[in-house]
Structure 1
Amino acid sequence: MSTAPPTRSGVDEPRFRDALRGLPGRVWIISLGILVNQIGNFLPVFIVLYLTERGCSAGAAGLVLGVSGVGKVLGNAVGGYLADGIGRRWTIVLSAVTTSGLTAIMPSLGPLPIIVAVVGLIGVTSQIYRPAAAAVLLDSVAATNQQRLAAFGVFRFAMNVGAALGGVVGGVLASTSYVGLFLGNAVACLLFGVVVGVLLRDAPKARSDQDDADTQADRAVGYRQVLADRTLVRFLLMTVFAEFVYIQSTVGLPLHVSTVGLSERDFGLLIGLNGLLVLVLELPITGVVSRYRPEYVLAIGNLITGVGLALTGFMTGMVLLSATVLVWTLGEMMTSSISQAYLGSLAPPRMVGRYQGLHGVAYTTGTGAGPLIGGAVYAIGPWALWALVGAAGLLSAQLCLPRRRAASTVLEPDS
C-alpha cells in the first residue's frame, strides 16, 4: 500500500530555503490557525491546577488526565477518518467549534463525574483537527522531500511560538481567573475554526471516472486494511517508543532534578533552554537534514534523543544537565518535522488522513503511557528508568531503518 520512499533527495529538488519561499498560501493559512490555537491552548496545561484548587484529590486529577488521554487517542482516529471522508477544511472547523463550546462550559461544571466526561470529550474533539491539518500541508505542496519538510517546518515553528506565548498568557489568566482562562481557550479555538473556515479551501483535484472509482474503493478501506502496510506499522511502533522516550523530559527529568537537590526553578530553566533551542534552531536543522534519506535521519535523531535523556541519570549539576538537554533537543529537532513529512511519502493520496490519524494515535499512546510507565519504573529505581529510556531509544532508532529486503531492492540497479 505504501509508495516507495526515495533513496535520497532528488538532484532537481529546490533547496530547503527556496522551498520555504515557495510555499503556497494554504500552508501559511493553516500555520496561522495553529498559532492562534496554540496561544490559547490552556486547558491541558492548567487543568490539574484548576482541579486541585477546587479541592479535588491528586487521584481525581490523575483520573481526569487519564480519560483525556484516552479521548486524544480516539480523537486522532476519528479525525483521520473524517479528513478523508468529509474533507480537511470541515474536519478542522468541526474540531475547533466543538472544542470551543465544550471548553467554554468548563467553569460552570459541578460534580466530578461531569467534569471527567466533558474533559474526555474535549480530549476527543481537540485532536480531530490534527490529521486534517497534516493532510492540508501534504495536499498543498509537491511530492518532494524538501517541499514536505518546508511545510511541516513552518507548521511546527508556528506551534512552538504559540505554545511559548500561550504558557505566558495562560499563567497570567490563571492567576486572575480560571473563568477567564477557559473562556480565552474557547475563543482561541473558535478563532482557529474561523480562520480555517473563511480562508482555507480544500485543494482542487482534477477528476476522472477512474479517480471516482478509486475514491470509492479507498473510502471503503478501513483502518484494519491500512494496518496491513508493514512499513506503516514499523513507523507507528517507532513513534510509540520515540514518544515514550521524549515524554520523560517532563516525567523522569523533573523527578531527577528533585532527587539531586535542585529546585523547580532549575527544572523550569532546563525546559526553557529546550524551548529556546527549538525556536531558534529547528528550522535551520530541518534544512540541513533535508538533504539526507529520511529513514536514517529519523534513526540517528531517535538515537540521539534516547542517549541524551538516558544520560540524565548520571548528571547532578545544572551545567551537566544543560548539556544533556542540548543533546536530546538536537535529536528532537532532527525528527520532529521529518517524521510526518516522511509519513506523507508512504500514504496513497486519498488515504493521507487515515495515515496521519494513525500517527496521531501512536503519538498520543506514547505520550500517554510514558508518564504512567516512567513514574512506576522510577519508583522501582531511577537507574531502571534511565536504562529503559536508553533501550527504548535504541529500539526506536532500529525501527526507523528500512528492512533488509526493502533496502536491497532499493539498491538494485534499474534494468
Structure 2
Amino acid sequence: MSTARPDPTGVDEPGFRDALRTLPSRVWIISLGVLVNRAGNFLPVFIVLYLIERGSSAGAAGLVLGVSGVGNVLGNAAGGYLADRIGRRWTIVLSAVPTAGLTAIVPYAGPFALVVVVVGLIGLTSQIYRPAAAAVLVDAVTTNRQRLAAFAVFRAAMNIGAALGGVIGGVLAGTSYTWLFLSNGAACLLFGVVVAVLLRDGPPPPPDQHAEDADPPQVGYRRALADRALVRFLLMTVVAEFVYVQSTVGLPLHVSDVGLTARDFGFLMGFNGLLVLLLELPTTGAVSRYRPEHVLAIGNLLVGIGLALSGLGTTLVPLAATVLLWTLGEMITSSVAYAYLGSLTPPGMVGRYQGLHGAAYTIGTGAGPILGGAAYTLGPWALWSLIAAAGVVSAYLALPRRWGR
C-alpha cells in the first residue's frame, strides 16, 4: 500500500497564485512541449475522415479506432514502467520520435491492413510519454498547492494546444491529408527535441522504506494494484470518463434527434472549449483550498447531472445551460485528479501510478462510445438514466473510505 497520503492543506502552504509563481522551470518546459505536441496532434481527430475519403467503410474506420484504443492502454502501461526505469526525459523522447516517424508513414500506407498496423502502433507509442510527463510534474514540486498549480499549468497548455490544433488541422485537412500527417509527425519530433534539449530529470526520489530493494516486484504494477486507495481512484476514473465521453456520443445523437444541426452541436462544443480556456485555471485556484476527494466528488456529480439533463433540452439555450453545468464539473476535477493521484504515490512508483491512471482513462473513454451507443439504441431514457447513475457512482468513489483517511 502506498506510503504517501493526501495531507490537509495547511496554513503554511503558499496560496495558489504564489504556487504558480514559484513553479520550477521543468514544469514550464514540459508544458511547452505538450502544447507543441497537442497543437500538432491531428491524427486522432482526422483519421476517420481520412479513411472514409480513401474509400473505407464506417466499420473499417471503427476497427482502426478500436486497435488504436488498445494501443493507448498498452502505451500508458509501458510508459509508466519506462518512466520509472529509464527516467522521464528519455521515456518522452522514446515516445515522440517513433510516433513522428509512424505518423509520417500514414499517407503512404497503401493496404488497409498496413494502415491498421501503423495506426495501432501510433496508438501505443503516442501514449508512452503521458505517464512520464505527469511524473515530471510530481517530481518537480514539494507541496500539495504546488502540485495542483503544476497540473493546472499543464492542463492549460494541453487545452491551448488542442484549440490551436483544431483550427490548424482543419485548414491542413482541407488542403492535403499528406501535409496534415507530415505536420503531425513534425510536431511530435519537435516535442521530442524540446524535451531532449531543455528538460533534465530531477534528483532520484528518496528510497521507499517499505520496499525491499532486492525484490523487484515490490516496485512493480503488482504492488501498485495492492493499494486500495489507488484502485478506488482508478475505478472512479473509468466511470467518470465513461460519463464525460457522452458529451461526444449521447449529446450529438440527442442534438440530431431534436432537430438541431451539426452547426448547433459545434456551437455547444465551442462553448465548452471557450469556458475551459478562460476559466479552468482560476477555477482550479478557487477549489485548491478544499479537500481533493470532496472536490472530485462534487465535480463528478456536476458532470453526471449536467449531461443527464441534456436529455431534457430541446433547444439551444437550455442545452447550453447544461454544457455550462458539466463544463464546471470538468474544470473542477481535471487538475485536482492528477494532483490527488500524485499525493497517493509512494517513492519510486510515480510512473507506474500515472501509467495506470492513463490506462483507466483510456478504458473509460474507449468503453463510453460502445456502452453509450448501445444504451441510446435501447432508448434515449436509458442513456440519460445510465449517465445519472454513473455520475453518482463516480462521486461516491471519489469520497474517502475510512481506511483511506
- Band the TM-score falls in, shorter-chain normalisation: over 0.9
In 2, distance between residues paired with 1:369 and 1:306?
Answer: 16
Q: 2:356 aligns with which of 352, 358, 379?
A: 358
Q: Sort the Cα spacing of 1:289 and 1:112 in 2 relative to 1 into closer, same or farther, 3 A.
A: same
* Secondary structure of residue in 2 paired with 1:350: coil
SS at 1:2 equivalent: coil
Alignment of 1:260 with 2:261, yes or no, is no
Give 1:189's aligned residue. Answer: 188
**2:117 matched residue in structure 1:** 117
d(CA) in 1 for partners of 2:258, 2:290: 40
Partner Cα separation in structure 2 for residue 167 and residue 8 of structure 1 = 39
Which whole-Å CA distance do the structure 2 matches of 1:206 and 1:80 have between them?
16
- Is it true that 1:160 corresponds to 2:159 in the alignment? yes
TM-score (norm 2): 0.97
Match of 1:39 in 2: 39
DSSP 3-state at the match of 2:247: coil
User: In structure 2, how many angstroms separate the alpha carbons of the residues matched to 1:220 and 1:7?
Assistant: 24
1:5 equivalenced with 2:20 (yes/no): no
1:287 aligns with 2:285: yes
2:270 & 2:214 partners in 1: Cα distance? 48
Distance 2:55 2:237 in 1: 37
1:18 and 2:18 aligned: yes
Q: Which runs of 5+ in 2 are unaligned?
A: none
- Structure 2 match to 1:337: 335
Spell out, residue by residue over 1:237-263, the C-alpha distance to the aligned partner (whole angstroms, 9 max, x if none): 000000000000000100000000000
| Counterparts of 1:355 and 1:91, CA distance in 2 | 15
Q: Report the AA paired with residue 304 of structure 1.
A: L
Quick check: 2:6–2:344 contact (8 Å CA) kept in 1?
A: no
Aligned to 1:412: none
* Residue number among 271, 275, 279 corresponding to 2:269 in the alignment: 271
Task: Please tell me the residue identity of whatever aligns with 1:193.
Answer: G
Q: Please say if residues 236 and 398 of structure 2, whose CA atoms lie closer than 8 Å, have aligned partners that are also in contact.
A: yes
Contact 2:4/2:345, CA 8 A, preserved across alignment: no
Give the Cα–Cα distance (whole angstroms) in 2 for the partners of residues 220 and 343 of structure 1: 19
| Local SS of the residue matching 1:204 | coil
Structure 1 counterpart SS, 2:314? coil
Shift of 1:10: 1.0
The Cα shift of 1:206 comes to 7.7
1:238–1:396 Cα contact (<8 Å) kept: yes
Q: Is the 8 A contact 2:6 2:340 kept in 1?
A: no
Give the superposed CA RMSD: 1.5
Distance in 2 between residues matched to 1:134 and 1:172, nearest whole Å: 31
Give secondary structure in 1 for the equivalent of 2:248: coil
CA distance in 1, matches of 2:125, 2:214: 26
CA 1:216/1:98 → structure 2, altered by over 3 Å: closer, same or farther?
farther
**Equivalent residue runs for 1:65-214 within 5 Å:** 65-142=65-142, 144-205=143-204
State the alpha-carbon separation in 2 of the partners of residues 110 and 215 from structure 1.
50
How far did 1:58 drift?
0.5
Counterpart CA distance in 2 for 1:53 and 1:9 is 53
- Look up the SS of the partner of 1:105 in the other structure: helix
* Partner in structure 2 of residue 52 of structure 1: 52
C-alpha distance in structure 2 between counterparts of 1:123 and 1:239, whole Å = 20
Q: Tell me by how many angstroms 1:215 deviates.
A: 5.6
Give how far 1:145 is off: 1.5
Q: Which runs of 4+ in 1 moved over 6 A?
A: none
Contact 1:8 1:291 (C-alpha < 8 Å) held by counterparts: no
User: Is 1:396 the equivalent of 2:394?
Assistant: yes
Corresponding letter in the other structure for 1:228 = A
**Using a 3 Å threshold, how does the CA distance of structure 1 residues 206 and 66 change in structure 2: closer, same or farther?**
closer
2:379 aligned with 1:375: no
Q: How many residues align?
A: 404
Contact 1:96–1:192 (Cα < 8 Å) also in 2: yes
Q: C-alpha offsets along residues 183-220 of structure 1, whole Å, 9 cap, x if unaligned?
A: 00000000000000000000024878x99x96654675
Separation of aligned partners in 2, 1:257 and 1:242: 22
Q: Percent identity?
A: 74
- Counterparts of 2:14 and 2:297 in 1: how far apart (Å)? 24
Q: Which consecutive residues of structure 1, in runs of 5 or more, have no partner in the other structure?
A: 408-415
Instruction: Tell me: CA distance 1:35–1:331, structure 2 relative to 1, closer, same or farther (3 Å).
Output: same
* Distance in structure 2 (CA, Å) of the matches to 1:41 and 1:312: 30
Q: 2:219 touches 2:348 (CA, 8 Å); kept in 1? A: no
Tell me how far 1:7 sits from its aligned partner: 5.1
Contact map agreement 1:218 1:351 (CA 8 A) in 2: no
Match of 1:304 in 2: 302
Q: Which secondary structure state, in structure 2, belongs to the residue aligned with residue 98 of structure 1?
A: helix
2:386 and 2:260 map into 1 onto residues whose CA distance is 23
Residue 241 (structure 1) aligns with: 239
- 2 CA distance for matches of 1:396 and 1:366? 12
Alpha-carbon separation, structure 2, partners of 1:124 and 1:215: 30
Q: Is the CA contact 1:85–1:219 (under 8 Å) kept in the aligned structure 2?
A: no
Whole-Å separation in 2 of the counterparts to 1:92 and 1:4: 26
CA separation in 2, counterparts of 1:120 and 1:231?
32
Asked if 2 retains the 8 angstrom alpha-carbon contact of 1:300 and 1:397, the reply is yes
